[in-house]
Amino acid sequence: MSTNATMLTGDVVVQELPWRWRVQGSIFLIGGLGFMFDAWDVTLNGFLIPLLSKEWGLEPGQAAWIGTANLIGMAVGAFAWGSIADVIGRKKAFTLTLLIFSLFTVLGATSNDLSMFCIFRFLAGFGLGGCIPVDYALVGEFTPRKHRGRVLTAMDAWWPIGATLCGVVSAVLMATLNDWRYLMLVMVLPALLVFWVRVGVPESPLYLVRAGRPMEAKKVIDELIRRTGAEVGPWKLPEPADAPKLSLGKVTDQLAGLWRFNWRITGIAWSLFLTILLVYYGALTWMPSILVATGYAENKAFMATAAMTGIGLLGVVAAALLVERVGRKWILAITGPLAALSLVIFALVLDAPLTAQIWLLVFGFVIQVAIPVLYTYVSELYPTHLRATGFGWASTVSRVGAGLVPLIFGSLLWPVLGLPLTFALTGALVLLAVLWMAVAAPETKGATLQ
């Protein structure tokens, strides 16, 4: 057998390198900060709804557009940037998403009417919507295979940190400055800082190999080997492919490719994202309003929501500890339906504040076990050339569903069906999705990325 036949390829070398905090860990930390601001922005929608309703005299149907505009923008962004990242690269795509987010967040804070505010929130969401799919593709492709599940799961620890900071800072700013505009402006400097730090992150070598840029890929891989101190024998790069060109046809081809790759995998990925994140975004968007309607003062409602998201950090820790031991499918099958059930019980005991808050904490913990495992699982179901696109489209489906939540929840489900039945309905959808996953999708624990 020839030497070339037994030689490792560069993409395998990257996946077999030892973990070093100063190398892969720094990319994890920088990527996590971008993810944190995504969480901050999504959580902010729930706080803006009651505040702007009071200041601008909005009806519930009008106020619902505050959340819908931003989340639909994120849906479009998750679709667009996932596909763009597969064409122009993870690093370049992410720097652009943060720049767009920062610009339109500032403009949104200067708005004086609902229409302009929603336009700016849509555009800010479009930029920020690219953070999650691009982040997971970038971090995942730098992370050694045997650590990948734990690292990608731990990425979601940044979500409860961002969501909790949003609640605490919002409560403090409203108590001191009493102006919702500061709630938005406070995010600008950290977002720009992350944008600056991103300049020092190398491009994913897996992307460079696929894009037909072998010299750049070799340089990145050689530097990774040097910095991790790994002993690596002879290795080679795959034959360079034609560099992809960005076009509408390319984007539609990528979408079609997801279904040609495996229609069951794509269908399951979309249904899991849609149902599990529908439960989470629904609770996150409307929880401050639910608590205010129950009789909570605004600051107390904000802090209770912050507690719900804050305990999620423990959920992420639990997910990181369990994901490689138990496997992705079992965790999702248990925690998805359990999270929805805890919301149903919360709604049934709202008249008992202490009991309701306990169940709100249970929800916050369980849902943050489910979500990082969901992100890890879906990111592993696709090969490299479809990974960011596959994750991006699944995220798009969830954001479209979440974007409709404020309108449907606030104007139809909550007032007509009541909270318990509304949460039970979403829980039934989660149950159907995890049952489909159980019978038709593979377990990806320990699998080598294609």
pLDDT beyond 80 at 291: yes
Is residue 150 within 8 Å of 324, Cβ to Cβ?
yes
pLDDT beyond 50 at 434: yes
Spatial distance between the Cα atoms of 136 and 20, rounded to a whole number of angstroms: 18
Report the pLDDT value the prediction gives residue 243, as an integer from 0 to 100.
Answer: 46
H or E segment and range at residue 8: strand 8-9
CA atoms within 13 A on the CB side of 290: 29
- Sorted by where each begins, the domain ranges of the chain are 8-440
pLDDT beyond 70 at 6: no
| 71-111 per-position pLDDT tens digit | 888 878 876 886 787 788 878 887 888 888 888 988 999 99
pLDDT beyond 90 at 293: no
pLDDT beyond 50 at 138: yes
Report the pLDDT value the prediction gives residue 447, as an integer from 0 to 100.
Answer: 66
Mean pLDDT, the chain, integer: 85
Report the pLDDT value the prediction gives residue 335, as an integer from 0 to 100.
Answer: 97
| 3-class DSSP assignment, residue 347 | helix
Q: How confident is the model at residue 2 (pLDDT cuts 50, 70, 90)?
A: very low
Bridge partners of residue 8, in order along the sequence: 235
Residue (of 336, 295, 254) closest to 81 by Cα position: 254
pLDDT beyond 90 at 354: yes
At residue 9, φ and ψ (nearest 5 deg) are -90, 160
| 307-339 per-position pLDDT tens digit | 999 999 999 889 988 988 888 999 999 999 999
Is residue 142 within 8 Å of 11, Cβ to Cβ?
no
Share of the chain above pLDDT 70, in %: 92
The total of other beta-carbon atoms located within 10 Å of residue 365's CB is 22
Share of the chain above pLDDT 90, in %: 33
Report DSSP letters for 91-135, one per residue.
Answer: HHHHHHHHHHHHHHHHHHHT--SHHHHHHHHHHHHHHHTTHHHHH
CATH architecture of 8-440: Up-down Bundle (1.20)
Report the pLDDT value the prediction gives residue 163, as an integer from 0 to 100.
Answer: 92
| 3-class DSSP assignment, residue 5 | helix
Structure tokens at 4: 């070339």
Higher confidence at residue 210 or residue 174? 174
| 3-class DSSP assignment, residue 187 | coil
| 185-226 per-position pLDDT tens digit | 988 877 777 767 666 678 877 778 777 788 888 898 898 898
pLDDT beyond 50 at 3: no
Bridge partners of residue 107, in order along the sequence: none
Summary count for the chain: helices (H), strands (E) = 21, 2
Report the pLDDT value the prediction gives residue 187, as an integer from 0 to 100.
Answer: 80
Phi-psi region of 355 (alpha: psi -120 to 50; beta: other; left: phi over 0): alpha
pLDDT beyond 70 at 448: no
| 3-class DSSP assignment, residue 236 | strand
Q: Model-level pTM? A: 0.80
Q: How confident is the model at residue 445 (pLDDT cuts 50, 70, 90)?
A: confident
Stretch among 1-15, 26-40, 322-336 having the lowest mean pLDDT: 1-15
At residue 297, φ and ψ (nearest 5 deg) are -70, 155
| 385-407 per-position pLDDT tens digit | 777 778 878 877 887 787 787 77
Is residue 141 within 8 Å of 204, Cβ to Cβ?
yes
